[in-house]
Amino acid sequence: MAEDKTIDPLWAWGEAAERPRVLHTMLRVRDVDASLRFYCDGLGMTLLDRYDFEAGRFSILFLSYAGYRDGPAALELTYNWDQDDHYTHGSGYGHVAIGVPDVAAMWERLADYGGEQGTAPKAMMPGAPQLAFVKDPDGYAIELIQIRRTPGEAA
């Protein structure tokens, strides 16, 4: 989806909002190419923009399933050019949840795109959608939640 070029890029998130909304989640990554392969090629997200800041020696990349204004929250990947060590995730980070039509297929697919399979697809209670966990190339937990109900499935 092409962004409306009449939108001021400095105000991409909106300029006339009346209510708060979640804009993005930021993750620090060490390998931009591996991250783009996982999120864009594997999960089907689109790279909206990339900004490289030479003076600060970092890049930020915005990914989403839609545009800045017309879709769900985006994902911001921050790449610090001089970061050699792996990032630690601490005890406070939980996960980024992404809804997918077929959890089992996506869980299997992401292994081919640098994902590390975690919790296999399962329902937490009878009649609930399936969920599964996978880690991205930097070890961030991604929860996959089934968003398509099979016809005849209990409501």
Cα–Cα distance list, 29 to 23, 102, 113, 150 (Å) = 19, 27, 15, 36
- Given CA atoms 145, 152, 65, 15 in this order, what sign does their dihedral have? negative
Q: In the annotation, is 143 catalytic? A: yes
Residue 112 CA, distance from chain mean position: 17
The one catalytic residue among 3, 18, 76, 143: 143
Dihedral (CA of 76, 6, 22, 129) sign: negative
Maximum C-alpha span of the chain: 57
The H or E element that residue 107 is part of is: helix 103-109
Which residues participate in catalysis according to the annotation? 143
